[in-house]
Amino acid sequence: MNITQSEQGGKIVANVTGRLDAVTSSDFEKQSDEWASTEGGDVVLDFEGLEYISSAGLRSILTLAKKLKGNQRNIALCRLNGIVEEVFVMSGFTAMFPVFKTVDEAVAG
């Protein structure tokens, strides 16, 4: 897994690529702690390059959302595709979080 981030429209935009699973979820959670502890806007997770997500990865996203909510901040997802999108739909995450087709839509969201 690789994470690159930028700021766009006052929001943190994180591009997550590779696999988000039991092996990499701890790295994602360390980065999430930084996002949650910094002053700033909402977090947009760009999953265009995410190839696989496991239940451990889903749990990491829920943990991030909970931390952000405690600071009156939110999470948005964008550019889900393939099997990753299926996992998000089947797990109900698309009903829990706003999902956008593009980063620009998510930032404007």
Q: What domains, with CATH codes, occur in the chain?
A: 2-102 (3.30.750.24)
Average pLDDT score over residue span 14-43: 95
- Closest CA relative to residue 47, chosen from 80, 82, 92, 7: 80
Whether the CA torsion 54, 87, 1, 99 is positive or negative: it is negative
For the chain, give the longest Cα–Cα distance. Answer: 33
Q: What's the confidence (pLDDT) of residue 39?
A: 81
Q: What is the pLDDT of residue 109?
A: 87
pLDDT score of 73 more than 90: yes
pLDDT band at 91 (very low <50, low <70, confident <90, very high): very high
For the whole model, what pTM was predicted? 0.95
Cβ-count burial of 27 within 10 angstroms (0-12 exposed, 13-18 middle, 19+ buried)?
middle
By C-alpha distance, which of 14, 78, 10 is closest to 48?
Answer: 78
